[in-house]
Amino acid sequence: MSHTIPLRAPLDESGLPRKEATIAGPPEPRPVPSSRQGDGMLNTFSVPYQQVLDRITPHLPPYLRKIEPTPYGRVTFTFAPFTGCEKEPAKPDSYYDDPRLAYVPESQDAAEHRIRTVARSVLDDLYEQARQQWKDVAYVADLRKVVKDAPDRWRAYEREAKALEAAYAYLRTPQAATEWPAAISRLVDAQDRTRAAAAAFDERARDIAHVHDQHLYAHLGQGQALTEAGYPEARDWHVGDGFGGYFRDGLVGKIDGLIQEQEAHLAKVGRLSGITD
């Protein structure tokens, strides 16, 4: 959430505010929305931007590149690109230790109360925006670490799955009746190969699912994150679920269910046709 802050200091070429005063008088202050400590009520008041800047400057992060106003008086932040390998952005200890940011009751010093409240709000917004940007980048970076050869393993699974489908479909043809034991044997071989390929893919899917779970609250969805990581084809992958650190609903489970259906059907056909008792 951004807060409205009256800008009484011009921006230099980098977009960061300069402290020198302008020749013209300062503009009329605009109301600043903030919340009163302890009651959640929204109050509006005016605070000189330069005074807020003086309070927040010691706590600005090195990755901040620009602070700039919007046409509506809000303040936005521009950050250096994150790699996702940095520590998660968080307010520094100095934020909590700074006596010039410590809470002062409005009844004790109204002006100081307003300045400190707005300064804390600006820093809160800054680090929250940085954290949200970092979270998405970190999500993508973590996926790149674990995907590895998952595309190759998925393609191997698809080849075996198609072979299994063909072997099962063949059993419905008249030709299969002339070589029923051999056709069944080829089906069993196809089942085994497909399950092995599924298990190989699950080895990668397990790690991918755990990354999805670790970044459950990122703005990026799972498919979008994998696309950002360079794997748009992953929308077709059966990754399973890694919620809570436990892997479930993997590809092997899907294939086991399919094999059970095939075998139950074949057993029924054998019984009804008199091939088996």
Are residues 256 and 156 located together in one domain of the fold?
Answer: yes
Are residues 137 and 155 located together in one domain of the fold?
Answer: no
Are residues 87 and 183 located together in one domain of the fold?
Answer: no
Would 8 be classed as within a structural domain? no
Are residues 132 and 156 located together in one domain of the fold?
Answer: no
Are residues 84 and 175 located together in one domain of the fold?
Answer: no
Could you give the number of structural domains in the chain?
2
Reported as a single tens digit per residue, the pLDDT across 3-23 is 344 433 444 444 444 444 332
d(CA 12, CA 72): 20
**Distances from the Cα of 268 to the Cα of 11, 47, 263, 272, angstroms:** 80, 81, 9, 6
pLDDT (0 to 100) of residue 100? 96
The domain boundary, picked from 143, 160, 195, lies at 143
Would 96 be classed as within a structural domain? yes
Would 231 be classed as within a structural domain? yes
The domain boundary, picked from 113, 143, 173, lies at 143
- Domain range for 230: 148-273
pTM for the model stands at: 0.74
Are residues 192 and 112 located together in one domain of the fold?
Answer: no
Q: Give bridge partners of residue 77 from the DSSP assignment.
A: 67
Are residues 54 and 73 located together in one domain of the fold?
Answer: yes
Reported as a single tens digit per residue, the pLDDT across 127-186 is 999 999 999 999 999 999 999 999 999 999 999 999 999 999 999 999 999 999 999 999
Would 88 be classed as within a structural domain? yes
Would 25 be classed as within a structural domain? no
Would 6 be classed as within a structural domain? no
Would 4 be classed as within a structural domain? no
